[in-house]
Amino acid sequence: MASSDLVLLHAPSVYDFRGQSILYGPVSDLVPSTPVFEMYPIGFTTIAEYLERHGLRVRIVNLAVRMLQDPRFDVERHLANLNPAAFGIDLHWLPHAHGAIEIARVVKRLHPRTPVIFGGFSSTYFHLDLIQRPEVDFVVRGDSTEGPMLTLNQYIASGGAAHPAPNSVAARTLASIPNLVWRDTDNHPHVNPLTYSPDHLDDILLDYSYVLKAVVRYRDLASVIPFHAWMRYPITAALSVRGCRYNCATCGGSACAYNNLHGRRRPAYRKPEDLANDIRRVGRFSQGPVFILGDIRQAGDEYADRFLEAISGYKKPVFIELFDATPPGYFKKVARALPNFTVEISLESHDDHVRRAFGRPYTTAAIERSMDEALEAGCQRLDLFFMTGLREQTYDSVMGTVDYCGLVLKRYTAAGDTRVIPFISPLAPFVDPGSRVFEDPQRYGYRLFCRTLEEHRQALLAPSWKYVLNYETEWMNRDEIVASTYEAGRRLNLLKAAHGVVEAPVAQATDRRIAKAVALSQEIDRVVAITHPEERRARLRALKPEVDNANLSTVCDKAELEVPLRQTGVNVLQAAHVVVNEWIKGLARASQNAP
């Protein structure tokens, strides 16, 4: 089998989740991942494509999916059989703080001479903690690491030392790689300036045909699957931007966090025509929806118009996000270009005051006008997302949000329209590092339980999500956040059933799951109060089968987020056709470049 220069490993949130009894709660109900957070970051695909384009061989191994799909999957044996020049591990989202570091430890034990590279937003934030760990050799900081990763991996592939002597030639080479954090032979950490921060996304390519080629090359489909249910529902992401113009208080992807962590002063946008091409490329092998990350209006109306013109006539499902209310006529243009579009809006709260305190700039009245226009223009569906755990938000305010959802459902379903679907979930498990709240919790009325990487790692092993939460607020403590989330989920589920947007048997099953989760959560509270450690462990172990059952889809059924597909997900023949075409193009390029 082909060897590789770099193997990118994606860990589960908690490494040994298969043996642990943890009630994860509704932390991942509204994302494609399970609570193990098995979806790897989009940067894996852009880094892999970029390095491959420059002559290196990269393999993605989603250990989290492998572990989920096969209870007997032997991580250590699988890792022992991999022999790349370097391993890359993402610690992008902080909920991977446990799994990512444990995987690094295993890799280091099995391959002591192979460098281990960390990257991602949380790695950037905690780069000094990470570089002092013996299982980590390098950290690449920043929101854009394709360039530094290429230089670093070329250095490693040419036999460069991971920890060179101070002032040696190798040390000078490492010192010249932007964004890199490394150690010398004396274990002294070096933090290179964060100077690689392209102001556009022209050099990256979100080209999933790389993934298809890797499946053939390594004869390994199971390891590149982005998340557990992907083969059944192959939703794919398209990246319009790195950075954001908005400043939502707890978001690690906000303007302020990008500035703090990555030195990014303004968002870097993908050219609208390139974004359209990215989506069309996905459409060549997949019937699944494409989710455009970032509101296409963020870069201005001209950007949105250019994109819509470039994508015009694309008939497969596309999800678009709204970060602000839209001007009149916007959705008519969207509908002309993308006849199969779905709209995603995170209102957070029904209350303008709470929403403004979070950082969203619009009023309920303004967004309702946008909603009406989207529906009138013919969107396939309109998802509304609300959150618990916000600044200025009390238990009663959460229930007020559910009442508002009832009014919205009533208003549209009375007219026979079941396309508006509200969802509610907690801000969980962590307030993001780098966000305004994480940096100055008191000012925003938050109390943080964890600050360091190690504290977050330990928190992830707590027996229920209440104890994993790294915060509580002046307005709700952790008990109230948990109670309001379950109660809001319960009431909203019943409202959806009453208004016919969720079928009765699905709603009944969700209601039973919520009741079970509440009972389990209370039982775990009682177990946590047991002072004898062995008895506590034994009681938790005994709860594991019930906890595992309660861990999938708590406050809603994950399938509620899916749009119906005309044909089944991935078209294997088309995928093979893409691979062959790409190879032919590659051979043609190689022969043109030959001397």
Least distance between ligand SF4 and beta carbon 253 (Å): 4
Question: Under the criterion CB under 6 A, does residue 269 sit at the interface with ligand SF4?
Answer: no
Question: Under the criterion CB under 6 A, does residue 30 sit at the interface with ligand SF4?
Answer: no
Best CA proximity match to 466, nearest among 419, 403, 511, 529 = 529
Question: Under the criterion CB under 6 A, does residue 244 sit at the interface with ligand SF4?
Answer: yes
Question: Under the criterion CB under 6 A, does residue 73 sit at the interface with ligand SF4?
Answer: no
Residues 495, 133 contacting (CB under 8 angstroms): no
CA distance 297 to 326: 9
Judged by CB under 6 A, the chain residues 292 through 331 that form the site for ligand SF4 are 323
Helix ranges (H only) for 176-208 are none
CA distance 520 to 550: 9
Nearer to ligand SF4, 371 or 543 (CB): 371
3-state SS string for 542-553: HHHHHHHHHCCC
Joined together, the tokens standing for residue 487 give 């109660």
Question: Under the criterion CB under 6 A, does residue 248 sit at the interface with ligand SF4?
Answer: yes
Question: Under the criterion CB under 6 A, does residue 68 sit at the interface with ligand SF4?
Answer: no
Question: Under the criterion CB under 6 A, does residue 148 sit at the interface with ligand SF4?
Answer: no
Question: Under the criterion CB under 6 A, does residue 422 sit at the interface with ligand SF4?
Answer: no
Which of these ranges, 248-256, 283-291, 331-339, 447-455, lies near ligand SF4 under the rule CB under 6 A?
A: 248-256
Which of these ranges, 208-216, 250-258, 275-283, 527-535, lies near ligand SF4 under the rule CB under 6 A?
A: 250-258
The 3-state DSSP class for residue 379 equals coil
CA distance 96 to 40: 10
Least distance between ligand SF4 and beta carbon 559 (Å): 24
Question: Under the criterion CB under 6 A, does residue 253 sit at the interface with ligand SF4?
Answer: yes
Contacting ligand SF4 (CB under 6 A), which of 46, 151, 254, 553?
254
Instruction: Give me the sign of the Cα torsion angle 487, 492, 497, 499.
Output: positive
Which of these ranges, 47-55, 85-93, 137-145, 249-257, lies near ligand SF4 under the rule CB under 6 A?
A: 249-257
CA distance 69 to 20: 17
Question: Under the criterion CB under 6 A, does residue 251 sit at the interface with ligand SF4?
Answer: yes
Check residue 564 and report its DSSP letter.
P
Taking CA atoms, 480 is separated from 50, 347, 400, 493, in Å, by 46, 21, 15, 19
Taking CA atoms, 114 is separated from 87, 88, 181, 185, in Å, by 7, 10, 17, 16
| Peptide linkage before 328 cis (omega within 30 of 0) | no
Least distance between ligand SF4 and beta carbon 299 (Å): 13
Which of these ranges, 13-21, 207-215, 241-249, 375-383, lies near ligand SF4 under the rule CB under 6 A?
A: 241-249
Nearer to ligand SF4, 184 or 351 (CB): 351
Nearer to ligand SF4, 324 or 523 (CB): 324
CA distance 470 to 420: 32
The 3-state DSSP class for residue 285 equals coil
CA distance 514 to 554: 6
Nearer to ligand SF4, 253 or 272 (CB): 253
Nearer to ligand SF4, 323 or 330 (CB): 323
Question: Under the criterion CB under 6 A, does residue 431 sit at the interface with ligand SF4?
Answer: no
Joined together, the tokens standing for residue 229 give 């249910």
Nearer to ligand SF4, 32 or 253 (CB): 253
Question: Under the criterion CB under 6 A, does residue 441 sit at the interface with ligand SF4?
Answer: no
What residues line the site for ligand SF4 (CB under 6 A)?
A: 244, 246-248, 251, 253-254, 323
